[in-house]
Structure formats: structure tokens, C-alpha cells
Structure 1
Amino acid sequence: MEFTYGLMIVIGLVTYVAWKQPELHAKLMLNPYQTVQQKQYWRLLTSGFVHNNPMHLFLNLFTLFFFGAAIERIFNVYFPQVGALLFILLFVTAVIVANVPTLIKHRNNPHYNSLGASGGVSALVLSFVLFDPLRDLCLYAIICLPGYILGAIFIVYSIIMGKRGRDNINHDAHLWGAIYGVVFVLLLRPSTIQTFIDSVF
């Protein structure tokens, strides 16, 4: 689990430093317009390492702590030689992939910004659900449901809220991060889908 902890430390440190330097914070977050116009494509990745406020950071690190550690353990079991590498690869590429639809959607809007590790974290959560669909997951420690049900609710909710676009949350990144997490696992271990179906049905 040391890679999970290391990732948490890096995200926390980068976010903290960026809070102290507003100019750096602005350069690291995803501004689709500047990303395209100035060819600053690093923002697709760096935006996953900065956060808006302490609560935003806490929620992502809290989720990463549990699901990152779980996925790291699972990958180390199924892919003992490269499990840690695959874990980091999943998170990093999920952050990038989850941001691409936002980049396309808002590429002509110079005022739109997005930041946070949610795309990568969502990929970890749905990856875990694929491996252990019947494990109860709790939303804010209040509502607890089997992972496959909560995962389905999460995806539907992200689609609906993404279309509404009435809050400051990038639901598109949540959605595409989650979908990417499922695709990543199935490409690595196609038999996981049969195990998932057998467990649920």
C-alpha cells in the first residue's frame, strides 16, 4: 500500500504548495480554453493534483485511502511483478482520460476551470466494484449498499448532473473516470466480467 500513501502525500503537497501560490494553482488546474489555445496539455494531468479547498482535498484523499489501497492489493495479487506500476498507471491515465470530455466540451469557454483527483478516484472505486461487487459501500457513512448498486447509482447520477450542469462539480470527469476504471480492469483481466456476473446474478 506504500504507493497509495505516496500518491496521497504527493497530491496533498502539490495542493498545499499551489494554495500558497495562486499563480501556480491557476497554471496547474484544467482550463480547457488555455489548454487548447496555448497547447498546455499538461493541465489534463496536473489538474488531478490540485484542489479547491480543504474539504475537496479531504474527500478525495479519504476515498483514495480506502480504494487505492484495495486496488493496489488486488493488483499485487493478480499481477505480482507489476501490480504497483499498474495501480499508478490506472490512476494517472484515469485523471487524463476523465478530463478529455471536459476539454472538448469547454474548449471555447475561457472562464471554465476544473480541478481535483475525482476522475482518478472514481476509476479506483469502480475498479474495486468490478472485483468485489457485493461488498457494501457507504455513502458519507450513512447509506450503505452493495457496490454494484451504488456504482450504478453513481453512474446514472453523474450522467444526469453532468447534463444539468447547475453546480460547480465536474460530473463528466466522475463519469468518464468511472467508465475508464472498468475498461482498464477488463483489458487487464477479461475474466473479471464473468466473475462479476456470477457474483451479482
Structure 2
Amino acid sequence: MRLHAITDNRHTLEELAASIISIKDIADFIHIRERSKTVHELSELIERLLAGGVDKRKLIINDRVDVALFHNIHRVQLPSHGFSVKCVRNRFPHLKIGKSVHSVEEAVQAEKEGADYVLFGHIFQTDSKKGLSERGTGSLKEIKKAVAIPVIAIGGITEHRLPEVKQANPDGIAVMSGIFSKDRPAEAAERLACLVKGDLYEKAL
């Protein structure tokens, strides 16, 4: 399983850059999901990260395909309301494309259009999706059976609920507030990584 850390759009550039740099050797992938920030701010953030030693291959740009292309970042995450996978794949075949999905039908469609993986959620109740019913691990299992591409689980996944998620055998988990809302993001990410990867991660430390 892979650990995906997703930024929460609640911090200044300085705070966010420091948090991401602190987890650069822990998380497998880091999604830049800052919907309220301008292109200039996103570009400045990316420059800070690269200067701080973050591996460009770990960065995934949410929605802003233009920003990814400008900085020669080859991974993008398309939201459910954004460009279709087919459209981006046809124009930029070199990109690694993830698609956010909320049902089996959407996951199957994303795979048909050429997505490299899908991000499925929300699995449990989460503050970022207040008022919306959780989809649960049963739906996660259905998605896993329906597509051959990797499935990343997202939504309300905590250290305590991770064992339940792992039983559905996702290819990875994505965590937002469980990392970036913590006072010590690196410590939170390390605990999650140990649970996700088990002995392999502990030996690497």
C-alpha cells in the first residue's frame, strides 16, 4: 500500500511548504490540492518544495493541469467535476493521471478513458464532506473488484480505522487532515506509514 498525503487548503505558503518538506521522505505521494490559491502562489509553493529537496516525482497536482505542465510535473489528479481523463490523455499522453470517483460506474468509466488509478471516497465521515453519507469499506471492495487499475481510498481514514480499510485491500490510502491539520505532520505521517507499510517501513527508518 502507498501513503498519499493531500494538502488541506488551510495554511499559508510558508506553513504548507514546511509541512510538505517535513514529510518528503515519508509519504509516497504528495497531492497539491490548494483550490483557493492563485497560479502564482501554487508556482511559488512548488519552487519552495523543489528547493527544499522534495522529489518532483512524488508531487501530484490537483485539477491544475496547466500548473503541472509549466513545472514539468508528470502527475495530475482530476476531480470529478474537472477535465475528463480522455481529454487530458489525448492531449498529454505522457502524464500520469488519477481520477476522483464516487461510484463503481465512475471508476469503470475512468479506467476506460485511460486513468492510471482512481481515488475513491469518502470512506468514512469527514469534516471536508459534512452532511454527506460515508460510502464505507463495502463500496471500496466493490470498486476493487470492478477495475484493474489501482484504487486509493480517501475520507476520514485515521490510525484507528486503518485496519478496517486494509481489509478491503486498497492499493493505497490518502490522508488530508490526519497529516496536515496536526501540530507535527511528520510524526503523524510516520505513524500512518508504519501502519500502512508495516515492517518494511520500520526497517527503512
Shared topology, TM-score over 0.5? no
Relative to the length of structure 1, the TM-score reads: 0.25
More helix by share: 1
Q: Please, what TM-score do these two structures have when normalized by structure 2?
A: 0.24
